[in-house]
Amino acid sequence: MAISTAAELGSTPNRGRRVSAIIALPDWLGRLAAKEVTLGLLVYTAVALLLRAPMFGEPTVNIDDQFYALVGQRMLDGATMYVDIWDRKGPLLYVLFAGIEAISRAPAFYQFVATLFAIAGALFVQGMARSLTDRRAALMAGIAYLALLQQFKGGTAQTPVFYNPLMLLAAWSVATRLPLLAAGRIDMRLVLGMTSAGLAIAIKQSAAIESAFFGVFILVALVKARAPLLRIVAICTGLLLVALLPYVIAALYYLHDGHFAQFWQATVESNFRRQYSDPNTHIIRACLAIGRISLLSVLVWFSLRNWQGDAQGRGIIRFYIGWIATAVAAIFIFPNIFDHYLLPLAGPFCILMANVFTKRGIGTVSFVAIIAIAMAASGSLNLAKRWRAHTASTAFTQYVAEETPTRKLLVWGMPSYLYSALDIPPPSVLAFPPHLYDAQESGAAGIDEVAEVHRILASHPQTLVVWTQLDRKGPRKENWKSITDYQSQCGKRKLFTLYEDVMPRSIMVYSQCGTRTPTAH
């Protein structure tokens, strides 16, 4: 029995009819999906805004993207990335943020741009899933993609939100050219795909692992096709050069500017100099990551176990399975594992599990479960907390501005957005606070962090903003001692609660530094 209108859903007292109405949800989605791409765009725009808009304008919601925005602003002000402000991520990420900041420096704007990329990713998922399932299920797969971005802490502007659509485009170019590869040839679509993969790598280097899988897959396909050796070498060399082109262009720019050593150290060497978290923490995080993808893995199994299709479809599925396996392996080889490291899995998982949504019972229950888990994990629809986060950051920013008339500020923890909001240059090239205090970052930047902290404090910052919940142990404990000693010279302090995603963070503002009569407020 199908009950498809809101009036019927609200009026029936029969619980069985309500359950039937929920089971009929895929039929409703199927009728909507008559105009697939256009409707997908409309649906994904509505869903993305519903899920993400409550966080628009919150500068503290994510420790990473507030820093990306700061870098973009500093580049517009004349700073050279990797030289005047340091980080290890790819150059295209910061070029992108510089472009965003050139239009608007409001946090809501870069969060809105990230939402556009999320919608693009959902459209790619829909189109790629369509080759394996029906229109209704493909549309639901795109919605699930948006939900998983929320679950994996991609509700604002984490890097995979930007490069996932590029990786999806690269995967699509391979998946739709399997017959051509079987004939030992390639075309411009594959060249476009590898160009897209290269752009993803230029945003974040970890995309190189998935891109390498695409390259190896193409190589194996050409070998199996018995293509001439010279053709194989020419094709693979050409595709490799295309994929590396964005990075090569960036490297040539820094070489011409006389800063290639800094570029190489930041984007390559530093990634191998990061220290691993302690074994217990690593194991716990790995187990949590496995738990978070276990349901998705089960749904992929259900989706594919009775899948019926032609040989080309089976080849596409094998390719996607290899892609997922590579992306999962990439997560566990990193020194640390965080929730947002799972974001690259959202696309391939949603594509492969799409067919389960055609099954009325388990498909609908699975779809609802994905949405519910994502909402519970992200907290984006916790409107009360979102309101507290907005008001808290506004009052906090205003207070720090009033307490820092000399514009000499040191942020020691989460809210690096303060430099942006108050238009104050960071006091160090290591402007991302964890690079100064995080034990796992010790030595990674090629800069003596202890000497750098001594230099900063010697300049007598007027205001010191400290995230009080940080670990004060490990190789950088001497920096903590320096900060603690400096706090005693501040005449005023005030405690604030800010919100990183849904987590409250205690931030102490020490002001009037240089005096020796601390006053609690």
State pLDDT tens for residues 323-359.
999 999 998 887 778 888 999 999 999 999 999 999 8
Question: Is the full-model pTM beyond 0.85?
Answer: yes
* pLDDT at position 308: 78
CA–CA distance, 429 with 434 (Å, rounded to integer): 12
CA–CA distance, 28 with 76 (Å, rounded to integer): 48
Beta bridge partners, 511, equal 492
pLDDT at 272 over 90: no
- At 515, the amino acid letter reads T
* pLDDT at position 29: 52
CA–CA distance, 66 with 62 (Å, rounded to integer): 7
User: Which pLDDT band holds residue 306 (cuts at 50, 70, 90)?
Assistant: confident
* pLDDT at position 445: 85
Q: Please list the alpha-helical segments (H only) found in 429-495.
A: 434-437, 449-458, 477-487
Core vs surface per residue 214-244: b (16+ CB within 10 A) or e: bbebbbebbeeeebeeeebeebbeebbebbb
* pLDDT at position 465: 95
Q: Are 475 and 447 in contact (CB under 8 A)?
A: no
Q: Are 206 and 272 in contact (CB under 8 A)?
A: no
Residue 164, SS3 per DSSP: helix
Mean pLDDT computed over 38-67: 93
CA–CA distance, 317 with 395 (Å, rounded to integer): 52
Q: Are 510 and 484 in contact (CB under 8 A)?
A: no
Distance of CA 98 to the CA centre of its chain: 18
* pLDDT at position 510: 96
CA–CA distance, 170 with 132 (Å, rounded to integer): 18
* pLDDT at position 273: 78
* pLDDT at position 520: 45
**What is the H or E stretch that residue 494 is in?**
strand 490-500
Domain boundaries, the chain: 25-57+106-378, 383-513
pLDDT at 514 over 80: no
Instruction: Please provide the average confidence, as pLDDT, over all residues in the chain.
Output: 88
pLDDT at 9 over 90: no
Residue predicted with more confidence, 34 or 79: 79
Share of the chain above pLDDT 70, in %: 90
426-477 confidence digits (pLDDT tens): 999 999 988 888 877 878 888 888 999 999 999 999 999 998 877 665 556 7
Give the pair of three-digit tokens for residue 365: 């229950």
* pLDDT at position 475: 52
pLDDT at 18 over 50: no
* pLDDT at position 521: 45
Residue 467, SS3 per DSSP: strand
Core vs surface per residue 439-450: b (16+ CB within 10 A) or e: bbbbebbebebe
Residue 91, SS3 per DSSP: helix
* pLDDT at position 277: 64
Sheet with 490-500, edge to edge strand ranges: 409-412, 463-467, 503-513, 490-500
User: Which pLDDT band holds residue 11 (cuts at 50, 70, 90)?
Assistant: very low
* pLDDT at position 232: 96
pLDDT at 231 over 90: yes
* pLDDT at position 188: 96
* pLDDT at position 245: 96
* pLDDT at position 12: 42
CA–CA distance, 122 with 469 (Å, rounded to integer): 37
pLDDT at 516 over 70: no
CA–CA distance, 113 with 328 (Å, rounded to integer): 27
* pLDDT at position 148: 96
Count of helix runs (H) and strand runs (E) in the chain: 24, 4
- At 156, the amino acid letter reads T
* pLDDT at position 515: 59
Nearest 5°: phi and psi at 448? -75, 100
